[in-house]
Structure 1
Amino acid sequence: MTTRTLSAVIGGLLVVACLTSCAAPAEPLETPPAASTAPTSGNGVEPPVTPTPTAPAAEISCESMISTGTVEALTGAGWTAKPKDFVVGDVELTEGLLCFWADYSVGSDHGQLYGWSQITSDDASSAQSALLEGGWRREDGPEGTYFTEDPRYSMGTDDDGYGMTYLFGDGWVKLADTKQGLVLIEWTG
């Protein structure tokens, strides 16, 4: 490419950029709030304005539950998520979501499991009892109470030897394939 051709291409791109930035916005801009008609105090100062309620937080999804970087890495590898029933023992957790990420275009049992749910203290107690009866190991930590499967029966373990692990906190529970995987769950409810 000659210098003259390169200059023409760059010049053309600059013209397109200028025209695009000068074009009318696709959506109308918000108008500024009208002047307040609220009464003022004797000193001319308006009373504080009550804030408008904000929209509720987005609902939990397979993509919003875990970190953005994790979603990008999994989707970049061609993986997608499928929601599954989130059940611990005989406690069905309907206030959350359990997702299995995998490449569903091939037959495989290789994937990643992430779950988060709100949980009552009674349900947490029942779920934890069921895990203990099933041979899961309990470990208390500063973040909450961990229950991890016996590594002898685990499909895989992290660097510290932990397989599938639940973390119970105050009113919530998380689940990941490994204890280290729990840090990828960012949803707080």
Structure 2
Amino acid sequence: MRRRRSLLGGSVMIAAALLVASGCASTPPAQPETSQTPAPAPTSPTPTPETEAPPTPAGDPTCETIIPDQTVTDFEAVGWTARAEPFRVGELELPEGVQCIWGDFSTATDHVQIYGWAPITAKQAADAQKYLKDAGWRVEESAEGVMLTESADTTVATDADGYGLTYLFGDEWVKYADTKQGLLLVVWPLP
């Protein structure tokens, strides 16, 4: 059904473009019309149905690939760049991941955005969650996984719901952002 709408919409747009072009043309068509059926007009590639997973990017996660392209473009438009660091949960370093601080590093400021993603084993996840719980971080279970957010007593900045720095542990991966809402921007394909 969606493909039919897409093809119908494309046909309507082509027909409209032809009508506009024919009304604006100042010379008659080069070839006389015939009763033969015209060749089909070239169309753009068929869009990928929404049910298919997006292709997994090649390479390791980077500051520019773990968040949406448009977000990267928006940051760059205001002069922000990213500083990549190893992904850490306390003393645990996950070298295959990346933790990124986006901001304007040409001036001293605390106005930054933080995003991270890393693969993680079940044992590493259990150790990291224990470390965060022992440090007073709040634990919440969700359909996506286990979320831990810093204590309201120690947070510097929060989102509209009162969440500061937040980790989300899924099945063999962990996301990190400076707020719970920021986790929505971490879109690196999950394993």
Q: Normalization by structure 2: what TM-score?
A: 0.68
The CA RMSD measured in Å over matched residues stands at: 1.7
2:146 aligned counterpart, secondary structure: strand
Q: Name the larger-Rg structure.
A: 1
2:153 aligned counterpart, secondary structure: helix
Q: Residues 82 and 100 of structure 2 are in contact (CA less than 8 Å); yes or no, is this contact kept in structure 1?
A: yes
For residue 11 of structure 1, what is the aligned residue in structure 2? none
- Please state how far the C-alpha of 1:99 moved relative to its aligned partner: 0.6
Counterpart check, 1:169 vs 2:170: yes
For residue 104 of structure 1, what is the aligned residue in structure 2? 105
Question: Following the alignment from structure 1 to structure 2, what is the Cα–Cα distance between the partners of residues 149 and 140?
Answer: 15
1:147 aligned counterpart, secondary structure: strand
Question: Following the alignment from structure 1 to structure 2, what is the Cα–Cα distance between the partners of residues 60 and 89?
Answer: 20
For residue 159 of structure 2, what is the aligned residue in structure 1? 158
After superposition, the Cα gap between the structure-2 partners of 1:55 and 1:105, relative to the gap in structure 1 and judged at 3 Å, is closer
Q: How does 1:18-57 map to 2 (within 5 A)?
A: 57=58
Task: Give deviations 1:5-45, integer Å, cap 9, x for gaps.
Answer: xxxxxxxxxxxxxxxxxxxxxxxxxxxxxxxxxxxxxxxxx
Task: Give deviations 1:148-175, integer Å, cap 9, x for gaps.
Answer: 0012321211111111100000000000
Q: How does 1:1-189 map to 2 (within 5 A)?
A: 57-189=58-190
2:84 aligned counterpart, secondary structure: strand
Equivalenced residue count is: 136
- Please state how far the C-alpha of 1:56 moved relative to its aligned partner: 7.2
Q: Residues 56 and 189 of structure 2 are in contact (CA less than 8 Å); yes or no, is this contact kept in structure 1?
A: no
Task: Give deviations 1:53-72, integer Å, cap 9, x for gaps.
Answer: x9972321100110112111
2:141 aligned counterpart, secondary structure: strand
Question: Following the alignment from structure 1 to structure 2, what is the Cα–Cα distance between the partners of residues 106 and 146?
Answer: 33
1:124 aligned counterpart, secondary structure: helix
1:181 aligned counterpart, secondary structure: helix
Question: Following the alignment from structure 2 to structure 1, what is the Cα–Cα distance between the partners of residues 57 and 133?
Answer: 37
Q: Which runs of 5+ in 1 are unaligned?
A: 1-53
Out of 118-127 and 79-88, give the one that drifted further: 79-88
After superposition, the Cα gap between the structure-2 partners of 1:142 and 1:56, relative to the gap in structure 1 and judged at 3 Å, is closer
Q: Normalization by structure 1: what TM-score?
A: 0.68
Question: Following the alignment from structure 1 to structure 2, what is the Cα–Cα distance between the partners of residues 167 and 67?
Answer: 18
What amino acid sits opposite 1:181 in the alignment? Answer: G
- Please state how far the C-alpha of 1:76 moved relative to its aligned partner: 1.0
